[in-house]
Amino acid sequence: MWLGHVGALAVVVGVVVCWIYRWRNPRCDGKLPPGSMGLPLLGETLQFFTPNTSHDISPFVKERMKKYGPIFRTSLVGRPVIVSTDPDLNYFVFQQEGHLFQSWYPDTFTEIFGQQNVGSLHGFMYKYLKNMVLNLFGPVSLQKMLPEVENTACRRLQQWSCQDMIEVKEETANMIFHLTAKKLISYDSESSSENLRKSFISFIRGLISFPLDIPGTAYHDCLQGRKKAMRKLKNLLQERRTMPKKQQNDFFDYVLEELQKEGTILTEAIALDLMFVLLFASFETTSLALTLAMKFLSDNPMALKRLTEEHEAIIRKREDADSALTWKEYKSMTFTFQVINETVRLANIVPGIFRKALRQIQFKGYTIPAGWAVMVCPPAVHLNPAKYEDPLTFNPWRWEGMEVHVASKQFMAFGGGMRFCVGTDFTKVQMAVFLHCLVTRYRWQAIKGGNTVRTPGLQFPDGFHIQIWEKELQKGKIHVHLDGQT
């Protein structure tokens, strides 16, 4: 009896030891990159999500780069992952999209963004959706949108200048949400009683957090937020269905039209998931970038001065100083684009780009087993002192005369290859036009906050509070285009 128990125990211990051994030494017919798989099941997930206040490469990645080199293995949220900080492997991964690698995000992401979001769609469906999105946010569309972007920025700035203090992250997110929601679903966030944006707020906090779905966790709130937002989007689409005559020429119309076509591959569920991703991707990322840009400019009077000169020159060159911004003027904002590049380089808003290996892959003597995830790590590229001198310093001038083809391997804030961010141009327009209105007519002072934390996603835990005034000199000379929209 007693011996039987010992025997059973020995078997259990044996199985567990074997299992732990397998966990730490995954099967692979070849040479895995060095690294540790961490604790069974948990892997190194907790270390990965540890917050840090520095703009530098996260300690998780930095320590392992030092120990193992530019390519190493780990385990995150229950998945074996190869982390790449190697420019050649990054490039290879981007180029092989759809062949050797496929877009893949952890299950938690799929949970949050819906089963059918653009990020995880493949092949034909993917191309189809991408074209839909490019139609909305491509250069042709943006040229038409320019006056609206300018009006919105000017109007918001005017409103902020009447307040004692504003929180930049929240306010810029509101501004951009207003614009995209109008564009996508003709949703007027200023006059609508339902607050769609609000249901996105709890959502954001939990987005890049530890995936534990029990009440009280950020992740749980995040899923609840998604549910709420999806319900509202569904209602809005339903509403539109019942009054199909009132064409708004927005994304909803496009979707409804598509849904009615015979043999269409679009479903309502896909359309709603996509809407959710787009609304979220547009305002959260761009508002983080704008807030960080304002923080950097507050701390760098030289850069602010140069930026202001560029925009004042644009106005000086006009026949009528009050006329609206043209596409040609927008395209001429050289220093502004340097500021934007430098901001997104340091922002590293997307700290990891995930793919899945479709087949076993050999690279630089290492084997990546089929089915493993690969995480391309943009911060390691953007903060590499060999490519960017003094990498933690905000220095827009470093972009002067930088060769584009060199830059593409060394700059992946918007991803790369086929999956390059479709919102890149939209983001640049938003940021440049906002900065134009800001520096030509206003000055501001930081009051409190502005500290950043990475978990590893960029966050402003206590916001960035500023006071903003209309510039005395400019008063009366340039007036704000109000267009009677208020």
Which residue ranges are tagged as binding site? 421
Question: How far apart are the C-alpha atoms of 73 and 28, rounded to whole Å?
Answer: 12
Cβ neighbours of residue 443 closer than 8 Å, sequence gap 6 or more: 468, 469, 471
Closest distance of CB 62 from ligand NAG, Å: 6
Q: Which residues, 6 or more positions from 17, have their beta carbon under 8 angstroms from its beta carbon?
A: none
* Contact code string over 91-110 relative to ligand HEM, x by CB under 6 A: ------------x-------
Contact letters for ligand HEM, residues 196-235 (x by CB under 6 A): ----------------------------------------
Nearer to ligand NAG, 392 or 402 (CB): 402
By beta-carbon proximity to ligand NAG, the closer residue of 203 and 399 is 399
Q: How does 156-177 read in b/e, with b if 16+ C-beta sit within 10 Å?
A: bbbebbeeeebbbbbbbbbbbb
Please, which residues bridge with residue 453 across strands? 459
Within 13 Å of residue 148, how many CA atoms lie on the same side as its CB?
A: 13
Q: Which of 81, 349, 375, 439 binds ligand HEM (CB under 6 A)?
A: 349
* Min CB(405)–ligand NAG separation in Å: 9
| Nearest-approach distance from CB 257 to ligand HEM, in angstroms | 20
Please, which residues bridge with residue 82 across strands?
Answer: 73, 374
d(CA 252, CA 244): 10
Binding segment (CB under 6 A) for ligand HEM, from list 80-88, 205-213, 342-350, 439-447: 342-350
Closest Cα to residue 345, out of 290, 299, 401, 383? 383
426 binds ligand HEM (CB under 6 A): yes
CA distances, 343 to each of 170, 220, 290, 296, 413 (Å): 18, 31, 8, 8, 10
Among ligand NAG, ligand HEM, none, partner that 117 touches (CB below 5 to 8 angstroms by kind): none
* Radius of gyration of the CA atoms of the chain, in A: 25
Cα–Cα distance measured from residue 88 to residue 98, given in angstroms and rounded to the nearest whole number: 18
Residue nearest to ligand NAG (CB): 407
Residues 133-162 that bind ligand HEM (CB under 6 A): 133, 137
Which residue ranges make up the annotated binding site for heme? 421
CB of 118 to ligand HEM, least distance (A): 5
Q: Which stretch binds ligand HEM (CB under 6 A): 106-114, 150-158, 410-418, 478-486?
A: 410-418
DSSP structure string for 291-339: HHHHHHHHH-HHHHHHHHHHHHHHHHHSSSTTSPPPHHHHHT-HHHHHH
Q: What's the CA dihedral at 374, 379, 385, 391 to 10 degrees?
A: 170
**In this complex, which beta carbon is closest to ligand HEM, that of residue 133 or of residue 432?**
133
Q: How far is the CB of 61 from ligand NAG (least distance, A)?
A: 10
Residue 113 CA to residue 118 CA, distance in Å, equals 9
Q: Which is nearer to ligand HEM, 92 or 137 (CB)?
A: 137
Residues that bind ligand NAG (CB under 6 A): 52-54, 59, 62, 334, 337-338, 341, 399, 402, 404, 407-408, 411
Question: How many Å apart are CA 74 and CA 36, to the nearest integer?
Answer: 5
Which member of 45, 96, 199, 286 binds ligand HEM (CB under 6 A)? 286
Contact positions vs ligand HEM (CB under 6 A): 103, 118-119, 130, 133, 137, 278, 281-282, 285-286, 289, 344, 349-350, 353, 413-415, 419, 421-423, 426-427
